[in-house]
Structure 1
């Protein structure tokens, strides 16, 4: 990345038929603000607006809830998205504004602040990526049952590298499965 094009965070407050976004730099300078509909035309306008900043990350509140429909479209367009928990943005709104009044503008601002200030927000992956990971883990588990050292290490790798897949498909590894090759 070049120094003249810094990474920006685009905070999004999603609703069923519209989204409010705020674009913020790493030093918390607001450099853009807009509201778009979530129909095809509005979504395309939003993407065009966001692409003014080539190095951006979307911070979306409720990626698995009210923001799911927009998040999945962003992921399909290969846009980087992080999930901002609603409780975290509500706390940020209280601290940033001094009061808890909710408006779409203050919500988008709070979400962008969380995206800039908080390290370790969970990146959102598409359902297709999760399906590929599930298939890899399922194959690795089946291979591990053959008790070859290579397949056992593959199970160990899958177990240690993906908490999402581990919760869904991986059995607990046996102590002898995790030995190095």
Structure 2
């Protein structure tokens, strides 16, 4: 009998609920969120022969559990939180508890056949960590710049700083030289904020250089797509994780949020914009689509053909994004095959 174990993960404990093929609850167990607790969960699951796990997609909360289960040979399905919430609302048992949530995770995994499957951490994990860290530093720098502008305005209302000028070292040097003529608490705070802004800019630029070196090695085919820069490629690699875990281009399009949602009844077929999916991936594809629409090549030709047939600019960009989703998936798969091919050839030569 095939058994699916839904997991409701927390910092201290994990609650597991086992269900059969039709979603009937078989048993439940709570273990510690440690490697020893994960081993206890595997030993408990050993009472069934064919077992898979489904976890709510809370990456940092469930990453150690996912890695331990995969290393022990189990298939781990990631369930988006919105699916779990829907399953819980439609359940027969009212309320909210760890066993109810774990059961909802299992039911959502049974109902949705195209959910992503977790894989062992690879180079894409490093890209995602660096990309997210760079994004956090940019947000912090924006806060620092906003505070700095208010203090500079208080010191000298006539000093004009370009809208994005404080991202460049030359503008920072100019502002620092101007602040040397002021004294007092406000001037000291402005100097501290300017120094912090300079340090954050240095870190952001360093992270971008690291990402450039990683992406050039991991995804040369992805970078070859017109309009795909280093940061867009890094976002795609980090959020996709492993392209081979998607069973088809349509499943990947649903993941990226580029697949339209059907909203029709009868003979009049209609679709609407998909506002779900991975928004970071969707934004990266949108950036590539806008760049291609403004440039030249096959993307520009496709975009112009759509607008010539009466499509609006937004509609044409959405259709171009959907086509780019397939192009990006093919490039990712090609790069993954290239990375694994040398290892395969080496093993054959050694044999």
State the TM-score, normalizing by the size of structure 2: 0.37
Q: Deviations over 1:114-150 (max 9, x none)?
A: 122221111111113858xx899647679xxxxxxxx
Judge conservation of contact 1:19–1:37 (CA < 8 Å) in 2: yes
- 1:25-174 equivalence runs, <5 A: 25-97=20-92, 99=94, 101-128=95-122, 138=219
Equivalent residue number for residue 16 of structure 1: 11
Structure 1 gap segments, 5+ residues each: 1-5, 143-157
State the TM-score, normalizing by the size of structure 1: 0.67
Bigger share in helix = 2
Larger radius of gyration: 2
RMSD over equivalenced CA pairs, Å:
3.7
Report the CA distance between 1:98 and its aligned residue: 6.2
Structure 2 gap segments, 5+ residues each: 126-214, 224-242, 256-280, 290-296, 299-326, 328-351
Give me the whole-angstrom Cα distance separating, in 2, the residues matched to 1:91 and 1:37: 27
Give me the whole-angstrom Cα distance separating, in 2, the residues matched to 1:87 and 1:141: 30
Judge conservation of contact 1:18–1:35 (CA < 8 Å) in 2: yes
Give me the whole-angstrom Cα distance separating, in 1, the residues matched to 2:217 and 2:19: 37
Which structure is richer in relative contact order (CA contacts within 8 A, separation 6 or more)? 1
Give me the whole-angstrom Cα distance separating, in 2, the residues matched to 1:32 and 1:135: 48
Judge conservation of contact 2:35–2:68 (CA < 8 Å) in 1: no
Give me the whole-angstrom Cα distance separating, in 1, the residues matched to 2:93 and 2:216: 48
Report the CA distance between 1:77 and its aligned residue: 2.2
Give me the whole-angstrom Cα distance separating, in 1, the residues matched to 2:217 and 2:2: 33
Q: Deviations over 1:58-108 (max 9, x none)?
A: 100024242222112212223210101111101110110464x32101101
Q: Deviations over 1:11-55 (max 9, x none)?
A: 000111110011101122211211111223222111111122221
Give me the whole-angstrom Cα distance separating, in 2, the residues matched to 1:14 and 1:73: 14
Give me the whole-angstrom Cα distance separating, in 2, the residues matched to 1:104 and 1:98: 13
Judge conservation of contact 1:25–1:116 (CA < 8 Å) in 2: no
Equivalent residue number for residue 154 of structure 1: none
Alignment CA distance shift 1:137-1:114 (3 Å): same
Deviating 4+ runs (over 4 angstroms): 134-137, 139-142, 158-164
Give me the whole-angstrom Cα distance separating, in 2, the residues matched to 1:105 and 1:40: 21
Judge conservation of contact 1:22–1:34 (CA < 8 Å) in 2: yes
Give me the whole-angstrom Cα distance separating, in 2, the residues matched to 1:140 and 1:54: 41
Give me the whole-angstrom Cα distance separating, in 2, the residues matched to 1:103 and 1:56: 23
Judge conservation of contact 1:63–1:71 (CA < 8 Å) in 2: no
